[in-house]
A and B are shown apart, each in its own frame.
Chain A
Protein backbone atom coordinates (compact mmCIF):
# COMPACT_ATOMS: atom_id res chain seq x y z
CA UNK A 1 0.00 0.00 0.00
CA UNK A 2 1.68 3.21 -1.13
CA UNK A 3 1.89 6.34 1.03
CA UNK A 4 -0.73 8.89 0.00
CA UNK A 5 -0.78 11.27 2.94
CA UNK A 6 2.23 12.26 5.01
CA UNK A 7 2.21 14.49 8.10
CA UNK A 8 5.29 16.46 9.11
CA UNK A 9 5.80 18.23 12.41
CA UNK A 10 7.04 21.84 12.21
CA UNK A 11 8.95 23.78 14.84
CA UNK A 12 11.60 26.48 15.07
CA UNK A 13 14.46 24.08 15.84
CA UNK A 14 17.65 23.91 13.80
CA UNK A 15 16.62 20.58 12.30
CA UNK A 16 13.26 21.78 11.03
CA UNK A 17 14.77 22.41 7.62
CA UNK A 18 16.09 18.92 7.05
CA UNK A 19 12.94 17.42 8.46
CA UNK A 20 10.71 19.38 6.11
CA UNK A 21 13.04 18.62 3.21
CA UNK A 22 12.84 14.91 3.93
CA UNK A 23 9.07 15.30 4.09
CA UNK A 24 8.98 16.83 0.62
CA UNK A 25 11.38 14.28 -0.75
CA UNK A 26 9.32 11.38 0.58
CA UNK A 27 6.11 13.02 -0.66
CA UNK A 28 7.60 13.31 -4.15
CA UNK A 29 9.02 9.79 -4.07
CA UNK A 30 5.62 8.34 -3.22
CA UNK A 31 3.51 10.92 -5.02
CA UNK A 32 1.83 11.71 -1.72
CA UNK A 33 0.40 14.91 -0.35
CA UNK A 34 2.13 16.52 2.61
CA UNK A 35 0.56 18.21 5.63
CA UNK A 36 2.59 20.43 7.94
CA UNK A 37 1.47 20.70 11.53
CA UNK A 38 2.59 23.31 14.07
CA UNK A 39 1.63 23.66 17.72
CA UNK A 40 0.24 27.09 18.62
CA UNK A 41 1.50 26.87 22.20
CA UNK A 42 5.05 25.74 21.55
CA UNK A 43 7.37 28.25 23.17
CA UNK A 44 9.74 29.83 20.63
CA UNK A 45 13.33 28.94 21.43
CA UNK A 46 14.77 32.39 21.87
CA UNK A 47 11.98 33.98 23.83
CA UNK A 48 12.99 35.21 27.26
CA UNK A 49 10.05 36.83 28.90
CA UNK A 50 8.10 36.19 32.06
CA UNK A 51 4.86 37.52 30.73
CA UNK A 52 2.68 34.60 29.76
CA UNK A 53 0.58 36.80 27.50
CA UNK A 54 3.57 37.90 25.45
CA UNK A 55 4.77 34.34 25.28
CA UNK A 56 1.42 33.09 24.09
CA UNK A 57 1.26 35.72 21.36
CA UNK A 58 4.78 34.94 20.24
CA UNK A 59 4.05 31.21 20.16
CA UNK A 60 1.00 31.80 18.01
CA UNK A 61 2.99 34.06 15.70
CA UNK A 62 5.72 31.49 15.42
CA UNK A 63 3.25 28.75 14.48
CA UNK A 64 1.77 30.98 11.80
CA UNK A 65 5.20 31.82 10.47
CA UNK A 66 6.23 28.15 10.31
CA UNK A 67 3.07 27.22 8.47
CA UNK A 68 3.54 30.16 6.09
CA UNK A 69 7.12 29.16 5.27
CA UNK A 70 6.03 25.55 4.82
CA UNK A 71 3.30 26.54 2.38
CA UNK A 72 5.72 28.72 0.38
CA UNK A 73 8.18 25.88 0.17
CA UNK A 74 5.45 23.48 -0.96
CA UNK A 75 4.61 25.84 -3.80
CA UNK A 76 8.26 26.00 -4.83
CA UNK A 77 8.62 22.22 -4.63
CA UNK A 78 5.37 21.62 -6.45
CA UNK A 79 3.97 19.25 -3.82
CA UNK A 80 0.31 19.25 -2.83
CA UNK A 81 0.37 20.47 0.76
CA UNK A 82 -1.90 21.49 3.57
CA UNK A 83 -1.23 22.86 7.01
CA UNK A 84 -2.74 22.62 10.46
CA UNK A 85 -2.14 24.71 13.56
CA UNK A 86 -3.07 22.87 16.73
CA UNK A 87 -4.10 24.91 19.76
CA UNK A 88 -4.25 23.85 23.38
CA UNK A 89 -1.80 23.15 26.16
CA UNK A 90 0.73 20.33 26.15
CA UNK A 91 -1.79 17.54 26.89
CA UNK A 92 -4.63 18.79 24.74
CA UNK A 93 -2.51 19.53 21.72
CA UNK A 94 -0.85 16.12 21.94
CA UNK A 95 -4.15 14.27 22.02
CA UNK A 96 -5.49 16.38 19.17
CA UNK A 97 -2.45 15.69 17.09
CA UNK A 98 -2.81 11.95 17.73
CA UNK A 99 -6.38 12.19 16.43
CA UNK A 100 -5.31 14.01 13.31
CA UNK A 101 -2.62 11.38 12.77
CA UNK A 102 -5.22 8.65 12.16
CA UNK A 103 -5.74 9.98 8.68
CA UNK A 104 -2.14 9.72 7.53
CA UNK A 105 0.04 6.93 6.22
CA UNK A 106 3.25 8.23 7.76
CA UNK A 107 4.11 10.81 10.41
CA UNK A 108 7.42 12.63 10.55
CA UNK A 109 8.34 13.85 14.02
CA UNK A 110 11.58 14.96 15.60
CA UNK A 111 13.68 13.27 18.20
CA UNK A 112 13.49 15.26 21.45
CA UNK A 113 16.74 16.97 22.43
CA UNK A 114 17.54 16.46 26.13
CA UNK A 115 19.46 19.76 26.22
CA UNK A 116 16.46 21.84 25.28
CA UNK A 117 13.71 22.95 27.58
CA UNK A 118 11.00 21.56 25.33
CA UNK A 119 12.43 18.06 25.89
CA UNK A 120 9.69 16.76 28.16
CA UNK A 121 6.95 18.17 25.99
CA UNK A 122 8.39 16.61 22.85
CA UNK A 123 8.97 13.29 24.61
CA UNK A 124 5.38 13.24 25.75
CA UNK A 125 4.27 14.15 22.23
CA UNK A 126 6.30 11.34 20.67
CA UNK A 127 5.14 8.74 23.15
CA UNK A 128 1.47 9.65 23.04
CA UNK A 129 1.36 9.80 19.27
CA UNK A 130 3.17 6.51 18.93
CA UNK A 131 0.64 4.87 21.24
CA UNK A 132 -2.54 6.65 20.23
CA UNK A 133 -2.22 7.14 16.50
CA UNK A 134 -1.64 3.55 15.47
CA UNK A 135 0.42 4.92 12.58
CA UNK A 136 4.11 4.57 11.73
CA UNK A 137 6.36 7.43 12.85
CA UNK A 138 9.61 8.52 11.29
CA UNK A 139 11.73 10.18 14.00
CA UNK A 140 14.34 12.56 12.59
CA UNK A 141 17.46 13.00 14.74
CA UNK A 142 17.97 16.32 16.47
CA UNK A 143 21.49 16.58 15.17
CA UNK A 144 20.02 16.68 11.69
CA UNK A 145 20.73 14.45 8.75
CA UNK A 146 22.26 15.16 5.39
CA UNK A 147 20.41 12.86 3.07
CA UNK A 148 16.85 11.71 2.74
CA UNK A 149 16.54 8.50 4.74
CA UNK A 150 15.85 5.16 3.09
CA UNK A 151 18.85 4.21 0.91
CA UNK A 152 20.47 1.77 3.31
CA UNK A 153 17.93 0.42 5.72
CA UNK A 154 18.35 -1.75 8.78
CA UNK A 155 15.47 -3.60 10.40
CA UNK A 156 15.94 -4.41 14.05
CA UNK A 157 14.03 -7.68 14.02
CA UNK A 158 13.04 -9.35 17.26
CA UNK A 159 9.87 -11.01 16.06
CA UNK A 160 7.45 -8.96 18.13
CA UNK A 161 4.08 -7.68 16.97
CA UNK A 162 5.29 -4.06 17.06
CA UNK A 163 8.37 -4.76 14.95
CA UNK A 164 6.22 -6.73 12.53
CA UNK A 165 3.84 -3.81 12.17
CA UNK A 166 6.75 -1.40 11.72
CA UNK A 167 8.15 -3.48 8.86
CA UNK A 168 4.79 -3.86 7.11
CA UNK A 169 4.08 -0.16 7.45
CA UNK A 170 7.49 0.58 5.98
CA UNK A 171 7.10 -1.58 2.88
CA UNK A 172 6.82 1.45 0.52
CA UNK A 173 10.13 2.76 1.92
CA UNK A 174 11.75 -0.68 1.73
CA UNK A 175 10.75 -1.05 -1.90
CA UNK A 176 12.71 2.10 -2.73
CA UNK A 177 15.79 1.17 -0.70
CA UNK A 178 18.98 -0.08 -2.31
CA UNK A 179 19.95 -2.23 0.63
CA UNK A 180 17.92 -3.76 3.45
CA UNK A 181 19.48 -5.66 6.33
CA UNK A 182 17.42 -7.71 8.76
CA UNK A 183 19.36 -7.50 12.01
CA UNK A 184 18.72 -10.13 14.64
CA UNK A 185 20.43 -9.56 17.96
CA UNK A 186 20.79 -13.08 19.27
CA UNK A 187 19.92 -13.81 22.85
CA UNK A 188 17.76 -16.41 24.57
CA UNK A 189 14.56 -14.57 23.72
CA UNK A 190 15.19 -14.12 20.02
CA UNK A 191 16.48 -17.66 19.72
CA UNK A 192 13.16 -18.90 21.09
CA UNK A 193 11.01 -16.49 19.08
CA UNK A 194 12.86 -16.63 15.80
CA UNK A 195 13.58 -20.17 14.63
CA UNK A 196 15.31 -20.28 11.24
CA UNK A 197 12.20 -21.51 9.44
CA UNK A 198 10.18 -18.48 10.51
CA UNK A 199 12.94 -16.01 9.66
CA UNK A 200 13.29 -17.63 6.23
CA UNK A 201 9.54 -17.29 5.81
CA UNK A 202 9.76 -13.62 6.65
CA UNK A 203 12.55 -13.04 4.13
CA UNK A 204 10.47 -14.76 1.49
CA UNK A 205 7.40 -12.74 2.45
CA UNK A 206 9.33 -9.49 1.98
CA UNK A 207 10.70 -10.86 -1.27
CA UNK A 208 7.10 -11.31 -2.46
CA UNK A 209 6.64 -7.60 -1.78
CA UNK A 210 9.64 -6.83 -3.98
CA UNK A 211 12.02 -6.24 -1.08
CA UNK A 212 15.37 -8.05 -0.97
CA UNK A 213 16.79 -8.44 2.51
CA UNK A 214 19.96 -9.94 3.88
CA UNK A 215 19.80 -11.49 7.31
CA UNK A 216 22.49 -10.54 9.78
CA UNK A 217 22.75 -12.27 13.12
CA UNK A 218 24.81 -10.68 15.85
CA UNK A 219 25.41 -12.09 19.31
CA UNK A 220 24.28 -9.79 22.05
CA UNK A 221 27.07 -10.84 24.41
CA UNK A 222 27.31 -8.65 27.45
CA UNK A 223 26.17 -5.44 25.75
CA UNK A 224 22.65 -4.11 25.96
CA UNK A 225 20.58 -4.45 22.82
CA UNK A 226 20.51 -0.72 22.03
CA UNK A 227 24.32 -0.59 22.02
CA UNK A 228 24.55 -3.53 19.65
CA UNK A 229 22.06 -1.90 17.27
CA UNK A 230 23.86 1.46 17.39
CA UNK A 231 27.21 -0.25 16.71
CA UNK A 232 25.81 -2.07 13.72
CA UNK A 233 24.37 1.19 12.37
CA UNK A 234 27.69 2.96 12.66
CA UNK A 235 29.57 0.07 11.05
CA UNK A 236 27.31 -0.41 8.06
CA UNK A 237 26.53 3.20 7.18
CA UNK A 238 22.80 2.67 7.61
CA UNK A 239 20.64 5.75 7.08
CA UNK A 240 17.32 4.43 8.37
CA UNK A 241 16.51 2.11 11.24
CA UNK A 242 13.17 0.32 11.41
CA UNK A 243 12.00 -1.08 14.72
CA UNK A 244 8.98 -1.67 16.92
CA UNK A 245 8.12 0.92 19.53
CA UNK A 246 7.37 -1.01 22.64
CA UNK A 247 5.90 -0.11 25.88
CA UNK A 248 4.76 -1.30 29.20
CA UNK A 249 1.15 -0.17 29.08
CA UNK A 250 0.55 -0.99 32.72
CA UNK A 251 2.76 1.88 33.79
CA UNK A 252 1.47 4.91 32.02
CA UNK A 253 4.53 6.87 33.06
CA UNK A 254 6.94 4.55 31.46
CA UNK A 255 5.49 4.18 28.04
CA UNK A 256 8.60 3.22 26.18
CA UNK A 257 10.48 0.06 26.82
CA UNK A 258 14.20 0.17 27.58
CA UNK A 259 15.52 -0.38 24.07
CA UNK A 260 13.07 2.03 22.46
CA UNK A 261 13.93 4.72 24.93
CA UNK A 262 17.71 4.39 24.65
CA UNK A 263 17.53 4.32 20.86
CA UNK A 264 15.26 7.35 20.81
CA UNK A 265 17.54 9.35 23.06
CA UNK A 266 20.84 8.35 21.47
CA UNK A 267 20.01 7.80 17.82
CA UNK A 268 21.95 9.67 15.20
CA UNK A 269 20.02 8.47 12.18
CA UNK A 270 16.29 8.54 11.35
CA UNK A 271 14.23 5.79 12.98
CA UNK A 272 10.89 4.48 11.78
CA UNK A 273 8.70 3.01 14.51
CA UNK A 274 5.25 1.54 14.90
CA UNK A 275 3.65 0.51 18.12
Chain B
Protein backbone atom coordinates (compact mmCIF):
# COMPACT_ATOMS: atom_id res chain seq x y z
CA UNK B 1 0.00 0.00 0.00
CA UNK B 2 1.21 3.47 -0.83
CA UNK B 3 0.31 5.98 1.87
CA UNK B 4 3.01 8.62 1.60
CA UNK B 5 4.72 9.92 -1.51
CA UNK B 6 7.67 12.32 -1.63
CA UNK B 7 8.34 14.30 -4.78
CA UNK B 8 11.43 16.32 -5.60
CA UNK B 9 10.74 19.85 -6.85
CA UNK B 10 12.95 22.21 -8.83
CA UNK B 11 12.67 24.96 -11.41
CA UNK B 12 13.51 22.72 -14.36
CA UNK B 13 11.36 22.14 -17.42
CA UNK B 14 10.29 18.69 -16.32
CA UNK B 15 9.08 19.85 -12.90
CA UNK B 16 5.56 20.40 -14.21
CA UNK B 17 5.17 16.84 -15.52
CA UNK B 18 6.78 15.44 -12.38
CA UNK B 19 4.34 17.23 -10.10
CA UNK B 20 1.39 16.17 -12.26
CA UNK B 21 2.46 12.52 -12.18
CA UNK B 22 2.96 12.69 -8.42
CA UNK B 23 -0.49 14.21 -7.90
CA UNK B 24 -2.05 11.63 -10.17
CA UNK B 25 -0.36 8.74 -8.32
CA UNK B 26 -1.24 10.19 -4.90
CA UNK B 27 -4.91 10.46 -5.88
CA UNK B 28 -4.98 7.00 -7.39
CA UNK B 29 -3.55 5.44 -4.22
CA UNK B 30 -5.24 7.72 -1.73
CA UNK B 31 -1.82 8.76 -0.48
CA UNK B 32 -0.47 11.92 1.11
CA UNK B 33 1.92 13.91 -1.02
CA UNK B 34 4.94 15.87 0.16
CA UNK B 35 6.96 18.14 -2.09
CA UNK B 36 10.62 18.72 -1.21
CA UNK B 37 12.83 21.45 -2.55
CA UNK B 38 16.55 22.02 -2.02
CA UNK B 39 17.19 25.56 -0.80
CA UNK B 40 20.76 25.66 -2.05
CA UNK B 41 19.91 24.53 -5.57
CA UNK B 42 21.24 26.97 -8.11
CA UNK B 43 18.39 28.38 -10.20
CA UNK B 44 18.62 27.46 -13.87
CA UNK B 45 19.06 31.02 -15.09
CA UNK B 46 21.19 32.42 -12.29
CA UNK B 47 24.62 33.78 -13.26
CA UNK B 48 27.35 31.90 -11.42
CA UNK B 49 29.50 34.89 -10.38
CA UNK B 50 28.08 36.28 -7.14
CA UNK B 51 27.68 33.54 -4.53
CA UNK B 52 25.51 35.57 -2.21
CA UNK B 53 23.17 36.57 -4.98
CA UNK B 54 22.90 32.96 -6.15
CA UNK B 55 22.07 31.83 -2.62
CA UNK B 56 19.37 34.46 -2.34
CA UNK B 57 17.97 33.53 -5.72
CA UNK B 58 18.05 29.88 -4.75
CA UNK B 59 16.01 30.58 -1.65
CA UNK B 60 13.49 32.60 -3.63
CA UNK B 61 13.31 29.88 -6.27
CA UNK B 62 12.60 27.32 -3.55
CA UNK B 63 9.71 29.41 -2.22
CA UNK B 64 8.29 29.91 -5.70
CA UNK B 65 8.54 26.21 -6.51
CA UNK B 66 6.75 25.26 -3.32
CA UNK B 67 4.02 27.81 -4.07
CA UNK B 68 3.47 26.30 -7.48
CA UNK B 69 3.35 22.81 -5.95
CA UNK B 70 0.78 23.84 -3.32
CA UNK B 71 -1.40 25.43 -5.98
CA UNK B 72 -1.35 22.32 -8.19
CA UNK B 73 -2.10 20.09 -5.22
CA UNK B 74 -4.96 22.22 -3.92
CA UNK B 75 -6.43 22.47 -7.43
CA UNK B 76 -6.49 18.69 -7.43
CA UNK B 77 -8.05 18.76 -3.91
CA UNK B 78 -5.11 16.82 -2.56
CA UNK B 79 -3.71 17.20 0.90
CA UNK B 80 -0.06 18.05 0.49
CA UNK B 81 2.76 19.22 2.68
CA UNK B 82 6.00 20.92 1.76
CA UNK B 83 9.58 20.53 2.85
CA UNK B 84 12.62 22.74 2.33
CA UNK B 85 15.99 21.04 2.71
CA UNK B 86 19.10 23.08 3.43
CA UNK B 87 22.77 22.33 3.11
CA UNK B 88 25.36 21.91 0.37
CA UNK B 89 25.31 19.21 -2.31
CA UNK B 90 26.18 16.17 -0.18
CA UNK B 91 24.62 17.37 3.08
CA UNK B 92 21.30 18.13 1.43
CA UNK B 93 21.34 14.83 -0.49
CA UNK B 94 21.92 12.89 2.75
CA UNK B 95 19.16 14.83 4.50
CA UNK B 96 16.83 14.16 1.59
CA UNK B 97 17.64 10.45 1.91
CA UNK B 98 16.83 10.57 5.63
CA UNK B 99 13.46 12.12 4.90
CA UNK B 100 12.89 9.59 2.11
CA UNK B 101 12.69 6.77 4.68
CA UNK B 102 9.37 8.09 5.88
CA UNK B 103 7.74 7.52 2.50
CA UNK B 104 6.53 4.61 0.41
CA UNK B 105 7.62 6.09 -2.87
CA UNK B 106 10.15 8.77 -3.74
CA UNK B 107 9.86 10.63 -7.04
CA UNK B 108 13.11 12.15 -8.30
CA UNK B 109 14.27 13.44 -11.63
CA UNK B 110 16.80 11.90 -13.91
CA UNK B 111 20.03 13.93 -13.94
CA UNK B 112 20.48 15.85 -17.18
CA UNK B 113 24.09 15.59 -18.47
CA UNK B 114 23.67 18.85 -20.41
CA UNK B 115 22.94 20.91 -17.28
CA UNK B 116 25.42 22.26 -14.77
CA UNK B 117 23.46 20.69 -11.89
CA UNK B 118 24.16 17.25 -13.39
CA UNK B 119 26.66 16.18 -10.71
CA UNK B 120 24.45 17.44 -7.95
CA UNK B 121 21.41 15.55 -9.23
CA UNK B 122 23.54 12.44 -9.54
CA UNK B 123 24.66 12.84 -5.96
CA UNK B 124 21.04 13.16 -4.87
CA UNK B 125 19.98 10.05 -6.81
CA UNK B 126 22.90 8.09 -5.40
CA UNK B 127 22.36 9.04 -1.75
CA UNK B 128 18.61 8.50 -1.88
CA UNK B 129 19.03 5.07 -3.47
CA UNK B 130 21.85 4.02 -1.12
CA UNK B 131 20.72 5.50 2.18
CA UNK B 132 16.99 5.78 1.71
CA UNK B 133 16.13 2.14 1.26
CA UNK B 134 12.90 3.14 -0.49
CA UNK B 135 11.89 2.66 -4.11
CA UNK B 136 12.80 5.64 -6.31
CA UNK B 137 10.69 6.66 -9.28
CA UNK B 138 12.89 8.56 -11.71
CA UNK B 139 11.11 10.92 -14.09
CA UNK B 140 12.95 11.60 -17.34
CA UNK B 141 14.44 15.08 -17.72
CA UNK B 142 12.54 15.49 -20.93
CA UNK B 143 9.36 15.18 -18.90
CA UNK B 144 6.57 12.71 -19.46
CA UNK B 145 3.02 13.83 -19.95
CA UNK B 146 1.54 10.32 -20.11
CA UNK B 147 -0.70 9.00 -17.38
CA UNK B 148 1.78 7.24 -15.07
CA UNK B 149 2.00 3.47 -14.53
CA UNK B 150 -0.36 2.02 -17.09
CA UNK B 151 1.95 -0.19 -19.12
CA UNK B 152 4.83 -1.55 -17.09
CA UNK B 153 7.93 -3.44 -18.14
CA UNK B 154 10.03 -5.32 -15.57
CA UNK B 155 13.65 -5.83 -16.62
CA UNK B 156 14.22 -9.07 -14.72
CA UNK B 157 17.71 -10.41 -14.23
CA UNK B 158 17.21 -12.43 -11.07
CA UNK B 159 19.25 -10.17 -8.79
CA UNK B 160 18.27 -9.26 -5.24
CA UNK B 161 17.85 -5.62 -6.18
CA UNK B 162 15.37 -6.23 -9.00
CA UNK B 163 13.45 -8.55 -6.71
CA UNK B 164 13.25 -5.76 -4.17
CA UNK B 165 12.15 -3.27 -6.82
CA UNK B 166 9.34 -5.55 -7.97
CA UNK B 167 8.10 -6.18 -4.44
CA UNK B 168 8.26 -2.49 -3.60
CA UNK B 169 6.27 -1.78 -6.76
CA UNK B 170 3.47 -4.26 -6.06
CA UNK B 171 0.94 -1.56 -5.07
CA UNK B 172 1.68 0.27 -8.33
CA UNK B 173 1.55 -2.92 -10.39
CA UNK B 174 -1.85 -3.86 -9.01
CA UNK B 175 -3.34 -0.75 -10.56
CA UNK B 176 -1.50 -1.01 -13.88
CA UNK B 177 -3.24 -2.15 -17.06
CA UNK B 178 -0.45 -4.18 -18.49
CA UNK B 179 2.59 -5.76 -16.81
CA UNK B 180 5.28 -7.64 -18.66
CA UNK B 181 8.43 -9.34 -17.37
CA UNK B 182 11.32 -8.98 -19.78
CA UNK B 183 14.15 -11.48 -19.62
CA UNK B 184 17.11 -10.59 -21.82
CA UNK B 185 18.75 -13.90 -22.46
CA UNK B 186 22.44 -13.82 -21.90
CA UNK B 187 24.89 -16.62 -21.26
CA UNK B 188 24.63 -15.92 -17.58
CA UNK B 189 20.94 -16.65 -17.50
CA UNK B 190 20.45 -19.27 -20.15
CA UNK B 191 19.69 -22.07 -17.77
CA UNK B 192 16.49 -23.97 -17.41
CA UNK B 193 16.41 -23.16 -13.73
CA UNK B 194 15.94 -19.47 -14.51
CA UNK B 195 12.99 -20.28 -16.71
CA UNK B 196 11.24 -22.18 -13.94
CA UNK B 197 11.96 -19.34 -11.55
CA UNK B 198 10.55 -16.65 -13.83
CA UNK B 199 7.43 -18.76 -14.29
CA UNK B 200 7.07 -18.97 -10.56
CA UNK B 201 7.51 -15.18 -10.37
CA UNK B 202 4.53 -14.87 -12.73
CA UNK B 203 2.56 -17.03 -10.32
CA UNK B 204 3.76 -15.11 -7.29
CA UNK B 205 2.59 -11.86 -8.89
CA UNK B 206 -0.71 -13.54 -9.70
CA UNK B 207 -1.17 -14.20 -5.98
CA UNK B 208 -0.81 -10.46 -5.54
CA UNK B 209 -3.55 -10.00 -8.16
CA UNK B 210 -1.17 -8.89 -10.86
CA UNK B 211 -1.47 -10.46 -14.27
CA UNK B 212 1.97 -10.40 -15.82
CA UNK B 213 3.15 -11.76 -19.13
CA UNK B 214 6.66 -12.98 -19.75
CA UNK B 215 8.79 -12.04 -22.74
CA UNK B 216 12.18 -13.46 -23.54
CA UNK B 217 14.46 -11.66 -25.94
CA UNK B 218 17.73 -12.76 -27.41
CA UNK B 219 19.96 -9.67 -27.49
CA UNK B 220 22.06 -10.78 -30.48
CA UNK B 221 24.75 -8.15 -30.91
CA UNK B 222 22.86 -5.46 -29.02
CA UNK B 223 23.69 -4.39 -25.51
CA UNK B 224 21.24 -5.18 -22.73
CA UNK B 225 20.30 -1.51 -22.34
CA UNK B 226 19.61 -1.21 -26.06
CA UNK B 227 17.32 -4.23 -25.92
CA UNK B 228 15.44 -2.80 -22.97
CA UNK B 229 15.06 0.56 -24.69
CA UNK B 230 13.76 -1.08 -27.85
CA UNK B 231 11.19 -2.97 -25.85
CA UNK B 232 10.18 0.19 -24.02
CA UNK B 233 9.45 2.12 -27.22
CA UNK B 234 7.98 -0.84 -29.09
CA UNK B 235 5.38 -1.57 -26.42
CA UNK B 236 4.67 2.02 -25.47
CA UNK B 237 5.84 1.43 -21.91
CA UNK B 238 5.30 4.18 -19.36
CA UNK B 239 7.22 2.64 -16.46
CA UNK B 240 10.35 0.53 -16.46
CA UNK B 241 11.15 -1.41 -13.28
CA UNK B 242 14.69 -2.54 -12.68
CA UNK B 243 17.22 -3.09 -9.94
CA UNK B 244 19.62 -0.27 -9.10
CA UNK B 245 22.80 -2.28 -9.26
CA UNK B 246 26.22 -1.27 -8.33
CA UNK B 247 29.49 -2.35 -6.96
CA UNK B 248 29.16 -1.64 -3.28
CA UNK B 249 32.90 -1.83 -2.67
CA UNK B 250 33.46 1.26 -4.74
CA UNK B 251 31.21 3.82 -3.15
CA UNK B 252 31.73 6.09 -6.12
CA UNK B 253 30.32 3.64 -8.58
CA UNK B 254 26.85 3.13 -7.26
CA UNK B 255 25.14 2.31 -10.50
CA UNK B 256 26.02 -0.57 -12.77
CA UNK B 257 26.59 -0.12 -16.50
CA UNK B 258 23.07 -0.96 -17.59
CA UNK B 259 21.62 1.31 -14.94
CA UNK B 260 23.91 4.19 -15.87
CA UNK B 261 23.14 3.81 -19.57
CA UNK B 262 19.44 3.73 -18.98
CA UNK B 263 19.45 6.54 -16.45
CA UNK B 264 21.27 8.88 -18.83
CA UNK B 265 19.27 8.01 -21.93
CA UNK B 266 15.84 7.03 -20.77
CA UNK B 267 12.75 8.73 -22.08
CA UNK B 268 10.37 6.90 -19.81
CA UNK B 269 10.04 6.83 -15.99
CA UNK B 270 12.15 4.19 -14.24
CA UNK B 271 11.49 2.65 -10.81
CA UNK B 272 14.48 1.35 -8.84
CA UNK B 273 15.26 -0.01 -5.40
CA UNK B 274 18.79 -0.66 -4.34
| Residues of A participating in the B interface, judged by any CB pair closer than 8 Å | 1, 4-5, 32-33, 96, 98-100, 102-105, 131-135, 159-165, 168-169, 171, 193, 198, 201-202, 204-205, 208-209, 249-250, 275
Contacts and interface: CB of A to CB of B under 8 A. Distances in A.
Nearest to B204: A103
Looking at chain B's contact residues, is the secondary structure mostly helix, strand, loop, or mixed? helix
B248 A249 contact: yes
Contacts of B249: 249-250
Contacts of B203: 103
B7 to A, nearest CB: 15
B32 A208 contact: yes
Contact of B161 (A32, A103, A134, A204): A134
A200 to B, nearest CB: 9
Contacts of A133: 160, 163
Contacts of B102: 198, 201-202, 204-205
B86 interface: no
Interface stretch (B129-137, B216-224, B253-261, B262-270): B129-137
Interface of B: 1, 3-4, 32, 98-99, 101-104, 130-134, 158-161, 163-164, 167-168, 170-171, 193, 197, 200-201, 203-204, 207-208, 248-249, 274
Contact of B248 (A193, A204, A250): A250
Contacts of B133: 160-165, 168
Given A1-B167, A33-B207, A202 B101 contact: yes
A18 B201 CA distance: 28
Given A96-B193, A135-B163, A135-B164, 17 more contacts: A4-B204, A5-B204, A5-B207, A32-B207, A99-B197, A103-B200, A134-B159, A160-B131, A160-B133, A163-B133, A168-B134, A198-B98, A198-B101, A201-B102, A205-B4, A209-B1, A275-B160
Q: Which 9 pairs between the two chains have the least Cβ-Cβ distance?
A: A161-B133, A134-B160, A4-B207, A164-B133, A208-B3, A134-B164, A102-B163, A103-B204, A201-B102
Looking at chain A's contact residues, is the secondary structure mostly helix, strand, loop, or mixed? helix
Contacts of A5: 204, 207
A161 B132 contact: yes
A105 B171 CA distance: 13
Contacts of B161: 134
A115 to B, nearest CB: 31
B190 to A, nearest CB: 15
Nearest to B161: A134
Nearest to B247: A249
A102 to B, nearest CB: 4
B132 A164 contact: yes
Contacts of B103: 205
